[in-house]
């Protein structure tokens, strides 16, 4: 399909479509190229329209959350990237102990909001960056707990632009994954419980102290790079392989936590990818374990 006719796919939607958008800059790593088309739908109807057009024209379509566990390749992304950051997709409604949150809402804000209200259930996600959509999709969590345990239902959209809902027990969560196959998460229903606000705040403080001591905060990284293999710690394995501080180009394995890769000045996505390959190779050699990525690479 020629460039001209590709642009025509979105005719009439010019207000929400940007071409050659600097996508990499909008991730936590701050690395990588642009998106051929960057689309910010204002309403669910607009999103459905975009989804249908992309499906009909076989155009790849991806959803960008807050870009916290994402690496964009240096040559960027072909096709369309959608960001759900309008008011309609970022709404948060408290209905007693049931919380309805749009896919674009900020997980960190949601956690603090519920803690202040004395509502427990998601305080274990303190300090985990990301959007609600991304947190649901990958069942965000850490050693203190995960998001899936509090999520009751999700609103999804299929490739034809139709909305549908998936509830527990049909909806299930596992370590860093869910059984959601639909590409588009529109929102989630979260079940909380009444708790003592002071106790919740203490938990939040404890988690922050733990993170500060064990993770390279205030650096350009995308969180844990690899999933923990069953019963093992990816960070400990990388550490025991002697890779802490290993550097390729501007990418370096964190001295503080070996499962973090930090992007230093002048770093390219290719440097991070080379370092990922090196880590996988060395861990396979030493432990005969294939490390699986926790971050996404586009």
Tell me the pTM: 0.93
Q: What is the pLDDT of residues 161-189, one digit of tens each?
A: 999 999 999 999 999 999 999 989 999 99
Predicted confidence at residue 1, as pLDDT, reads 52
* Model confidence at 3: pLDDT above 60: no
Domains of the chain (ranges; CATH) run 3-83 (3.30.43.10), 90-199 (3.30.465.10), 216-293 (3.90.78.10)
How far CA 204 is from CA of 106, 111, 112, 126, 188, in Å, comes to 17, 9, 9, 6, 22
Q: Record the tokens describing residue 190, joined without a space.
A: 């979260």
Which tokens go with 43?
Answer: 């309403």
Average pLDDT over residues 267-271: 98
- pLDDT digit string, tens, across residues 129-161: 999 999 999 999 988 999 999 999 999 999 999
DSSP state letter for 292: -
Q: Copy the structure tokens of residue 117.
A: 């209200």
- pLDDT value for 105: 97
């Amino acid at each position: 399909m020629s460039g001209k006719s590709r642009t025509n796919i979105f005719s009439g939607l010019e207000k929400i479509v940007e071409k050659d958008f600097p996508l990499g800059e909008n991730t936590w790593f701050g690395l990588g190229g642009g998106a051929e088309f960057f689309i910010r739908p204002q309403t669910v109807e607009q999103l459905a329209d975009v989804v249908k057009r992309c499906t009909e024209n076989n155009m790849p379509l991806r959803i960008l959350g807050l870009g916290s566990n994402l690496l964009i390749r240096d040559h960027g992304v072909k096709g369309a990237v959608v960001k759900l950051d309008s008011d309609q997709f970022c709404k948060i409604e408290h209905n007693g102990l049931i919380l309805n949150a749009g896919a674009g809402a900020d997980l960190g804000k949601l956690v603090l909001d519920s803690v202040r209200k004395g509502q427990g259930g998601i305080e274990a996600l303190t300090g985990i960056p990301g959007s609600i959509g991304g947190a649901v999709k990958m069942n965000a969590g850490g050693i203190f707990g995960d998001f899936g345990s509090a999520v009751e239902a999700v609103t999804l959209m299929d490739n034809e632009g139709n909305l549908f809902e998936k509830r527990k027990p049909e909806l299930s969560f596992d370590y860093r994954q869910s059984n959601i196959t639909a590409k588009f998460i529109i929102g989630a229903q979260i079940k909380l419980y009444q708790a003592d606000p002071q106790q919740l705040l203490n938990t939040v403080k404890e988690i922050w102290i733990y993170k500060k001591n064990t993770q390279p905060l205030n650096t350009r990284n995308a969180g844990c790079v690899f999933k923990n293999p069953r019963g093992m710690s990816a960070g400990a394995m990388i550490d025991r392989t002697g890779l802490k501080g290993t550097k390729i180009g501007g990418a370096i394995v964190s001295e503080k936590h070996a499962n973090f890769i930090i992007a230093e000045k002048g770093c390219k996505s290719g440097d991070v990818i080379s370092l990922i390959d090196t880590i996988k190779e060395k861990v396979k050699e030493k432990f005969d374990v294939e490390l699986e990525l926790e971050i996404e690479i586009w």
